[in-house]
Amino acid sequence: MGGGGKGGGGDTPEIDPQTRKYAQQSVFKPYTLTTSVGTTAYDKNKGFSVGLGQPLRDIQQEGYLGAQQLMGGIPEAFGREATPFAFERDLEGRTSDIFREQSALLEPAFAQQRQQLQSDLFGSGRMGLMLAGEAAGAGAGGMVSPDAFGLGRAQSETLANLAAQSRQQALTEQQQAYNIEQGIFGINEALEQQRAQNLLAGTTGLFGLGSSISGTEADLLKLGLATEGARGASYAQAAGALSAGQQAAASAAQAANSGGGGKGVLGTIGSAALSAGAGFAGTETGAKWLLK
């Protein structure tokens, strides 16, 4: 009873077929795992693969495509040069327009005043009354009708005041137009800036949505790897437990044979067998085997 293995020359016990089977099952094998979010698989030729189910696949695609579309407008929105505020108004031209419009309204009244003066002068017999210009306040240079001169001066003063009022009205209109255009310019600029911010926020949000689904995809791949790893580890533990039990039984038998006690041999071998069985049953694969 000295040597035990094949060939009769060695002391190493033969590997149990069940132990060999479990050891072979402990290697990493192709797998397919399907969950509520999708399917992941490993193939020796194709490698790893992950396929999301609906509606996750559509959400992921829409998120990335939407982000790509919005991203195309970001460089233009943030890179554009600020539009200079330009305001141009013809102040002199507007002043002339106002004066012309207002003086045209006064012309009928001026004509009526001149006509009334002629009637008054003719009726009073003062039509031919003439005074030196200096005496009438018209300066040197001839004779003037004092009544006609007074009317003309009053009308000229009215037109002079009208010219000043026309200038002031043109300035007021210009300031009002400036304020309006400045407000519109500010609103447009604010809208452009808001548009840029909306593009950035929308792009970030949609990309984040796609990325979150991609995270689910990565988690599914990790789950497949972990599941296959746990399966292989359970077989490796079972193979190790059986191997350890066999070695313990062989050592106990050898020790008993050396001592020469029959009853002691059976007792020692029995203890080793029970220990090996308990170790094997403690593994996941061993428990499944016992329940067959």
End-to-end CA distance of the chain: 35
pLDDT tens digits for range 198-207: 999 999 999 9
pLDDT tens digits for range 215-271: 988 999 999 989 888 888 888 888 888 778 777 777 877 777 775 544 444 444 445
**Is position 64 within any domain?**
no
Amino acid at 102: Q
Number of separate domains in the chain: 1
> How confident is residue 5, by pLDDT bands cut at 50, 70 and 90?
very low
Q: Which domain holds residue 143?
A: 91-188
Beta strands in 110-179 (DSSP E): 131-132, 143-144
**Is position 19 within any domain?**
no
pLDDT of residue 164: 93
Rounded-to-integer distance, Cα 254 and Cα 244, Å? 15
Q: Hey, is 44 helix, strand or coil?
A: coil
**Is position 133 within any domain?**
yes
Mean pLDDT of 74-97: 83
pLDDT of residue 28: 80
**Is position 279 within any domain?**
no
pLDDT tens digits for range 60-80: 999 999 999 988 888 888 877
Residue 125 is classified by DSSP as: T
**Is position 129 within any domain?**
yes
> How confident is residue 97, by pLDDT bands cut at 50, 70 and 90?
very high
Mean pLDDT of 16-30: 79
**Is position 119 within any domain?**
yes
Q: What percent of the chain has pLDDT over 90?
A: 19
**Is position 72 within any domain?**
no
> How confident is residue 125, by pLDDT bands cut at 50, 70 and 90?
low
> How confident is residue 23, by pLDDT bands cut at 50, 70 and 90?
confident
pLDDT of residue 284: 54
**Is position 163 within any domain?**
yes
